Chain A
Amino acid sequence: MSNQAPLTEAILLVLLSLAEEPRHGYAIIKDVEQMTTGRVQMSTGTLFGALQRLLEQGWIQPVEEEDSPRGRRVYRLTPVGRRNLKHEFARMKDLTRIGDLRISRGRA
């Protein structure tokens, strides 16, 4: 994880959406919109680009459901994905702490 490039906002939001519960594509778009109070409205191109990258990295996986149609696959976070998400947030928290400290110390 330490060598991993910082995640893009789209990927981070998809991971956060799936961290709560397994979701399908449309539910992720709606959840991201709700989570960011409408600031981020993800396009399907962006969403599936992010999903593909996460699938390739093994951070998420499709939930095997027999009655689930192909156009409505449900995705869930894998243990690896959850661990990496936690690491990413630890990194961000650290960055925020340093940022706060530097900004408060700085002179205008």
Chain B
Amino acid sequence: MVHLYKLLLLLYPWAHREEFAEEMLSVFRQVHRDCASLGVKARIRFSLRETAGLIAGAFREHTKVRMENLRGGAMRMFRFPRWTVILLVLALLVVFAGINILATQTLSLVTAISPRWAFLQLLLAAALFVCVLGVIVFVLRAALGRTCIQRWTVAKTWPAQDVRNR
């Protein structure tokens, strides 16, 4: 159980581990020793409680670090230029146009008299759908790229070396 505990401690952010891991392990060893004299049910309950507590705690700490990063750094990088609005409107127009074209194609397929051309039309509609989807993805990526949202995805937590050198 102690080995599992040490392993689960690795889930915590580095700074938290540096500050509390040794102490947490020490307290855990003492509580674990107390539990040794208890029944199997109590020991299982203890193991589950500790595991759940560690996982929830690690999640909470990571969330806290992320939120601090967002509040402290990335929010200042955020900008929303006019071109982004234009690109997003363009993306919206492409979506509407795509839906309209696809609806027309489907309708013509349904009403097609000759089944010989139906397959060709289906292929055409599929190709059109892929093209429209490609354009939407491209425009959205370009628009979001301009808002610096992509920087959030590459935002790193405090590098461990920096913390160590403090």
Contacts and interface: CB of A to CB of B under 8 A. Distances in A.
A70 B23 contact: yes
Interface stretch (B27-35, B143-151, B156-164): B27-35
A29 B27 contact: yes
Interface residues of B, number: 24
A106 interface: no
Nearest to B30: A26
Chain A interface main SS type: helix
Contacts, number: 60
A43 B58 CA distance: 13
Contacts of A45: 24, 50, 52-58
A11 B49 CA distance: 17
A25 B60 CA distance: 20
Contacts of A43: 49-50, 52-54
Most buried by B among A25, A44, A51: A44
Nearest to A24: B27
